[in-house]
């Protein structure tokens, strides 16, 4: 393929336009790394200080002068026809007898082009003044097959690769959701077998209690204190800690013992009430004020079964419904809410253990599947970029 300067098939088509004092404007922006144009904002007339803008039309080739080195190139789609840009976004007419539009779109996603733009830009990137001015833009080159038909064949091939990749990524997401649904369905079936539900309070030997709101200075050798993220996500994270040098009381309630069941009492609506089991690491360890410890009766409750139950739809719906707080982004639950969480209290300890074994097996299958899906996801994420490099390198 022959390296061809942009100047051989692009022609400047500036459309200066002065907005009226009472005229709103839909403004166009450019995404990085070949993401193309997007509708940045609808700006009201009284918010527009500089009235001189430039009109864009469907099919225009456009780029952002200040971030060309980050791949801010694109072709204006039909839905953005008639929008406006500042003088930082030059536009050009494409000679479609020389270059296929879709082939050019794909080339705008090629890192080699961004490297060209970086080499030709002048100024300071640190001050957002690293600029590729229009004369230099037209010096950028593209490898062109001799025929338009060959360009279209290449572009169609890349379209097909992307379509297949997106379909596989969607299937991967559906598989992840399906494994979660299996766990929830199993929990639901357990509840239906025992009839009427009791409450979590039926299994407690005391009231849930908040931890200690202690000042953490992360001093070397300080006592570990769990952060909220150690419990969030239903998986205990022993690395999510801070440290405190404050004096501690060895007989205080805030110390953790291996196997303690913890629940968050404050977080976003989706994350409040997440639970996890303390694994014994680090030790000794303090739990914080935003977390409650649930004192289960070992003669009546299997801790892992309760942990599974708190992730299920019945418990989650109850928690999210009863969480309090005036802020829409931050909710809290108290002792009473935790104690009142619906629970199959009639299920004996031995039956809880039997169900828990099945739930653990399903959970392990889900973890293995998610590991495979994560590996496949990394491969899928690289397919389109590697195909682009293979075509244009």
Residues contacting residue 167 through CB under 8 Å, at least 6 positions apart:
none
CB 354 within 8 A of CB 292: no
43 and 136 part of one domain: yes
219 and 125 part of one domain: no
pLDDT value, residue 150: 95
Classify residue 162: in a domain, yes or no.
no
201 and 136 part of one domain: no
* Interatomic CA distance for residues 10 and 202, integer angstroms: 76
* Interatomic CA distance for residues 236 and 39, integer angstroms: 42
Q: Which CATH number goes with the domain that contains 323? A: 3.90.220.20
128 and 205 part of one domain: no
% residues pLDDT > 90 (the chain):
72
In terms of average pLDDT, the best of 117-126, 249-258, 359-368, 382-391 is: 249-258
Residues 124-169 pLDDT 10s: 755 567 899 999 999 999 999 989 999 999 999 999 999 888 887 7
95 and 214 part of one domain: no
Average pLDDT over residues 27-51: 93
Q: What are phi and psi of 367, to 5 degrees?
A: -65, -40
Structure tokens at 120: 């030709």
Q: Which domain holds residue 278?
A: 196-345
Residue 221 Ramachandran class (φ > 0 left, ψ -120 to 50 alpha, else beta): left
* Interatomic CA distance for residues 253 and 114, integer angstroms: 59
pTM: 0.59
Residue in the block written with tokens 């864009």: 56
CB 73 within 8 A of CB 104: no
Residues 268-304 pLDDT 10s: 999 999 999 999 999 999 999 999 999 999 999 999 9
* Interatomic CA distance for residues 273 and 300, integer angstroms: 22
What's the mean per-residue pLDDT of the chain?
90
123 and 219 part of one domain: no
pLDDT value, residue 1: 77
321 and 212 part of one domain: yes
231 and 304 part of one domain: yes
133 and 201 part of one domain: no
Classify residue 217: in a domain, yes or no.
yes
% residues pLDDT > 70 (the chain):
91
pLDDT value, residue 312: 86
The full 3-state SS of the chain, as one line of letters, equals CEEEEHHHCEEECCCEEECCCCCCEEEEEEECCCCEEEEEEEECHHHCCCCEEEECCCCCEEECHHHHHHCCEEECCHHHCCCEECCCCCEEEECCCCCCHHHHHHHCCCHHHHHHHHHHCECCCCCCCCECCHHHHCCCEEEECCCHHHHHHHHHHHHHHHHHHHHHHHHHHHHHHHHHHHHHHHHHHHHHHHCCCEEHHHHECCCCEECECCCCCCCCCCEEEECHHHCCCCCCCCCCEEEECCCCCCCCCCECCCCCEEEECEECCCCCCCEEECCCCCCCCECECCEEEECECCCCCCHHHHHHHHHCHHHHHHHHHHCECCCCCCEECCHHHHHCCEECCCCCHHHHHHHHHHHHHHHHHHHHHHHHHHHHHHHHHHHHHHHHHHHHC
201 and 277 part of one domain: yes
Task: Select from 229, 203, 227, 232 the least CA-distant residue to 216.
Answer: 227
CB 295 within 8 A of CB 204: yes
Residues 81-124 pLDDT 10s: 999 999 999 999 999 999 999 999 999 999 999 999 999 999 87
Structure tokens at 145: 């097959």
Q: How many CB atoms lie within 10 A of CB 89?
A: 22
Quote the number of domains for the chain: 2
208 and 122 part of one domain: no
327 and 204 part of one domain: yes
Classify residue 362: in a domain, yes or no.
no
């Amino acid at each position: 393929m022959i390296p061809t300067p942009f100047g051989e098939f692009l022609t400047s088509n500036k459309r200066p336009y002065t907005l009226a004092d009472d005229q709103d404007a839909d403004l166009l922006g450019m995404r990085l790394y070949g993401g193309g144009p997007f509708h940045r904002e609808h700006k009201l007339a009284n918010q527009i200080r500089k009235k001189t803008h430039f009109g864009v039309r469907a099919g225009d080739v456009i780029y952002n002068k200040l971030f060309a080195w980050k791949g801010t190139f694109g072709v204006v789609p039909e839905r953005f026809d008639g929008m406006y840009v500042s003088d930082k976004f030059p536009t050009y007419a494409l000679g479609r007898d020389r270059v296929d539009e879709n082939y050019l779109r794909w080339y705008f996603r090629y890192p080699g082009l961004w490297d060209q733009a970086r080499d030709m830009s002048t100024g300071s990137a640190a001050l957002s003044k690293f600029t590729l001015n229009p004369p230099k833009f037209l010096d950028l080159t593209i490898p062109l097959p001799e025929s338009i038909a060959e360009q279209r064949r290449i572009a169609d091939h890349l379209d097909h690769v992307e379509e297949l990749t997106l379909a596989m990524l969607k299937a991967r997401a559906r598989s992840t959701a399906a494994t979660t649904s299996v766990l929830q369905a199993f929990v639901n079936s357990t509840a239906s077998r025992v009839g009427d539900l009791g409450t979590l309070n039926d299994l407690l030997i005391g009231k849930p209690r908040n931890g200690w709101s202690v000042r953490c200075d992360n001093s070397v050798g300080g006592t570990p204190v769990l952060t909220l993220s150690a419990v969030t996500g239903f998986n205990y994270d022993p690395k999510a800690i801070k440290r405190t040098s404050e004096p501690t009381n060895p007989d205080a309630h805030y110390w953790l013992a291996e196997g303690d069941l913890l629940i968050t009492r404050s977080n976003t609506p989706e994350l409040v009430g997440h639970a996890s089991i303390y694994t014994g690491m680090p030790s000794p360890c303090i739990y914080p004020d935003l977390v409650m410890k649930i004192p289960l009766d070992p003669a009546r409750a299997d801790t892992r079964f309760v942990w599974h139950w708190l992730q299920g739809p019945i418990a989650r719906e109850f928690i999210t419904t009863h969480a309090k707080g005036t802020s829409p982004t931050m909710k809290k639950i108290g002792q009473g809410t935790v104690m009142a969480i619906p629970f199959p209290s009639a299920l004996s300890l031995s039956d809880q253990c039997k169900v828990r074994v099945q739930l653990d097996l399903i959970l392990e299958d889900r973890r293995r599947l998610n590991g495979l899906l994560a590996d496949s996801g990394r491969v899928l994420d690289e397919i389109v970029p590697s195909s682009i490099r293979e075509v244009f390198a």
